[in-house]
Amino acid sequence: MGNIHPYFLIFEGLMYGLLVWNLWDVHHRQGWHGVWQVLAGVIFGVLLEWATIQQLHAYRYGRFAVMIADEVPLAIGVGWGVIIYAARQYVEATTLPRWAWPVAAGLLALNIDLSMDAIAIRLGMWDWGQGMAFQYFGVPWANFWAWFWVVCSFTAGMWLFAQKPHPLSRWLGPVTAVILGVLGVLATNAFIVFVVPRAWYGWTIGVTLFTALGLVMAQRPRLSRRPASPLVRWTPAVFHGYFLIAGLVSGVIFHPPVLLGVSLLMALLAWGVYERGRVLDRVEKI
């Protein structure tokens, strides 16, 4: 424990705290089958990280307090679980059609990573092995492709199988979502790395993500009056707040200085999106 960086330990504590809050919140709202859905998201997070490392060998993690197979920090799997839960809660409270829910959830998750990843590698939490000037502040563009498909594939499987009226689907649906999610992530990883020509690499990623954003915005989404969990806004706030503060305290957010502007922009975008939920919650209580 003495060899683990304090920034890592604080991050782990925040993730485990969010997980406990998630489990309490979902049990209060949905019961034990909801708890299982959140835990399935954590299992999915650990599995996808381990499988991606074995498949691509593109990055490696630093030493955290709790490591799975000596390669994946448990806190990273927990992070995936809580991000997915918050994203699901938000999109389910919108007017978006059900087919667009996984797409919107994937885009919401990207908002977190666009500021987190560049700061995390400067803190040593993980390493892409490409230097800090590579592509997006040291983060490969393909990472954002992966983030989108990670959340999109798992949530699609969850909504497809866990929302069926049969009681068993509530328990078997998350298992199916984990399997389909991991297969989806591995397939999209293989596609962007091994199939897409290098010259089309950036275009494929950009067109995919901006098309997804266009499809969602074309639906003119807005929140319904149904109140969402407080975790909808607190989960991204914890991620943005922690990495912004850690970046400022350590000074890494100034290398380069534009990284501070990017982090603030992503935090403000998240605040703008989720603040609408807080206003609607207040209206609902009046």
Q: What tens digit of pLDDT does each residue of 120-150 get? A: 999 999 999 999 999 999 999 999 999 999 9
Task: Give yes or no for residue 222 having a pLDDT over 50.
Answer: yes
pLDDT for residue 71? 95
Task: Give yes or no for residue 1 having a pLDDT over 90.
Answer: no
Number of residues assigned to the chain? 286
Query: How many CB atoms are closer than 10 A to CB 210?
Result: 10
CA distance 70 to 139: 23
> Confidence class of residue 29 from pLDDT cuts 50, 70 and 90?
confident
CA distance 60 to 170: 35
Q: Which has more pLDDT, 167 or 48?
A: 48
Least confident among 27-31, 38-42, 207-211: 27-31
> Confidence class of residue 163 from pLDDT cuts 50, 70 and 90?
low
pLDDT for residue 230? 87
CA distance 93 to 29: 14
> Confidence class of residue 279 from pLDDT cuts 50, 70 and 90?
very low
Helix axes 6-30, 231-250, angle to 10 degrees: 180
Render pLDDT for 78-125 as a digit per residue (tens, 0 to 9): 999 999 999 999 998 888 999 999 999 999 999 999 999 999 999 999
pLDDT for residue 229? 82
* Mean pLDDT estimate for the chain: 90
Cα dihedral across residues 10, 11, 13, 14: positive or negative = positive
CA distance 44 to 182: 7
Question: Using CB atoms within 10 A of its CB, is residue 194 exposed (0-12), middle (13-18) or buried (19+)?
Answer: exposed
pLDDT for residue 82? 97
Whole-structure pTM value: 0.92
Question: Whose CA is closest to 78, among 109, 108, 40, 50?
Answer: 40
CA distance 17 to 72: 19
pLDDT for residue 285? 45
pLDDT for residue 276? 60
Question: Whose CA is closest to 7, among 143, 123, 172?
Answer: 123
Q: Which has more pLDDT, 160 or 62?
A: 62
